[in-house]
Amino acid sequence: MIDHKDIMLISFLNNRSLNFLINVYSDAQHMAINFLTNSDFSSENLIYMGGDFNVHDRDWDPTVVSHPIARQMLVDLADNLGLVRLLPTTQVPTHYTPNEN
C-alpha cells in the first residue's frame, strides 16, 4: 500500500475489522510528509499516525516562533486521513536539541 523507506504501515485484525497504524520518519526535507501528501493513500481504518515528523511549530512547542509550511502540510494530511491531533496530558518537550557530548 505504501512503498517508502521512511514509512511503516502496520495492519492488524480487531473483531474481524482490518485496522492500520502508520509510523513516519520525515527527514529535514520532509520527504515522507511530501510523499504521503502527494500519494493516493487513504484508509478509513487508519487509527493512528505517529513518528518523527521533524516539524517544529508553536502549536506543540511554545519556544518556536513560526508556522513552517511543513506544519500545514502535516495538519492537512492528518485531516485528510480522518485523524485528529492529541496533545500530551502533561507538558513535555517535543524537541531535544542535539548534544554532541
Residue 5 has pLDDT above 90, yes or no: yes
Number of domains in the chain: 1
The answer to whether residue 93 sits within a structural domain is no
Residue 97 within a domain: no
Whole domain around residue 66: which residue ranges?
7-80
Counting Cβ atoms within 10 Å, is residue 60 exposed (0-12), middle (13-18) or buried (19+)? middle
98 within a domain of the structure (yes/no): no
Max intra-chain CA distance, the chain: 50
In this prediction, residue 56 carries a pLDDT of 82
For residue 58, is it within any domain?
Answer: yes
Residue 91 lies in a domain: no
Strand segments, DSSP code E, in 29-90 are: 46-52
Whether pLDDT at 17 is above 80: yes
Q: Has residue 17 been placed in a domain?
A: yes
Domain for residue 95, yes or no? no
Mean of the per-residue pLDDT values of the chain: 87
- The tens digit of pLDDT for each residue in 61-82 reads 777 787 788 989 999 999 999 9
- Determine, yes or no, domain membership for 86: no
Give the confidence band of 91 by pLDDT, cuts at 50, 70, 90.
confident
